Structure 1
Amino acid sequence: MKTILAVLLLSVSALASAHNCPNEMKAIDAKLGSASGISAENMAKIKSLRADGEKFHKEGKHDESMKALGEAKKMLGI
């Protein structure tokens, strides 16, 4: 019974993480529209990380997606 419960909890946490990727992308997109004082080089890196996050999300690689999106958010100061 405990094993079944553990598997269920892990599944739920994975789904919760998967559904958070779009919220992270929305936060990045909102900040990109008003971002100032960021070098062109850093802006290109942020946009690349954002695109990678979306690609990983669509591929079902949610941990990788959250990592890329988290780095983009950090660079944006959010």
Structure 2
Amino acid sequence: MKLIIAAVALATSSLALAHNCPNEMKAIDAKLMTSPKLSPADMSKVKELRADGEKFHKEGKHDDSMKALGSAKKILGI
């Protein structure tokens, strides 16, 4: 019984992360719309990470997507 509960919890958490990628992308996009004060290098990196996050999400690689999007959010200070 504990194994079944653990399996359901794991599946649910993976689904939650998969569905959160678009929300993370929206948060990044919203911050970018405010013209944050970043160096050109940081802005380029944020845009690259944002694009990578969307690509990974579309490929079903949600852990990779969340990692890339999280790195972009960190640079943006969100």
| TM-score using structure 2 length | 0.94
Displacement of 1:35: 2.6
Displacement of 1:5: 1.4
Please, which runs of 5 or more residues in structure 1 have no aligned partner?
none
CA contact 1:57–1:65 (8 Å) conserved in 2:
yes
Q: Does 1:23 align with 2:23?
A: yes
Partner deviation per Cα, 1:45-72 (whole Å, 9 max, x = no partner): 1000000000111111111111100000
- The aligned residue for residue 7 of structure 1 is 7
State, as a whole percentage, how many aligned pairs show the same letter.
69
Alignment partners' CA distance in 2, 1:37 and 1:60: 32
Deviation beyond 3 Å, 4+ runs, structure 1: none
Q: Does 1:39 align with 2:39?
A: yes
Q: How many residues align?
A: 78
Secondary structure of 2:37's counterpart equals coil
CA contact 1:31–1:76 (8 Å) conserved in 2:
yes
Secondary structure of 1:49's counterpart equals helix
Alignment partners' CA distance in 2, 1:48 and 1:32: 13
- The aligned residue for residue 63 of structure 2 is 63
| TM-score using structure 1 length | 0.94
